[in-house]
Amino acid sequence: MIVNLWASWCPPCRAELPAIQRYAQRAAGQVAVVGVATLDTRNGASSIIEDLGLTFPVLYDEQGVLLRAAADRSALPVTLFVDRDGRIAHVHQVAALTDTTLNQLAGQYLGVAVS
């Protein structure tokens, strides 16, 4: 599973969400992709979901509980790679993901690379 924490007010989040969407479509049936609108309002998040045509499930964490529990920093975006046993195999919190980087990390930490 890939869990992407993002917010509508976060420029790097906006930059990587299209890559997350493309990966979700390519990996359908192999890797579940879930977004978590973090420290954001439902209205703000909904506008980005609509603008970018996101179709993967999105949860709302207005208080940032998951971010505080899973990441070493409070800046977004943060992407969690969760293995088959439900353990966080990797936390990506360096820069916005690209198609290439996302596919490489999924291959490395989840054993699933898609084209």
Quote the Cα angle for 108-111-114, to 5°: 95
**Domain segments of the chain: what residues?**
2-110
CATH of domain 2-110: 3.40.30.10
Q: What confidence tens digit (pLDDT) does each residue in 27-70 have?
A: 999 999 999 999 999 999 999 999 999 999 999 999 999 999 98
Token couple for 17: 């969400």
Say what the pLDDT of residue 18 is: 98
Strand order in the sheet with 33-38: 58-61, 33-38, 2-6, 78-82, 88-92
Question: What average pLDDT does the chain have?
Answer: 95
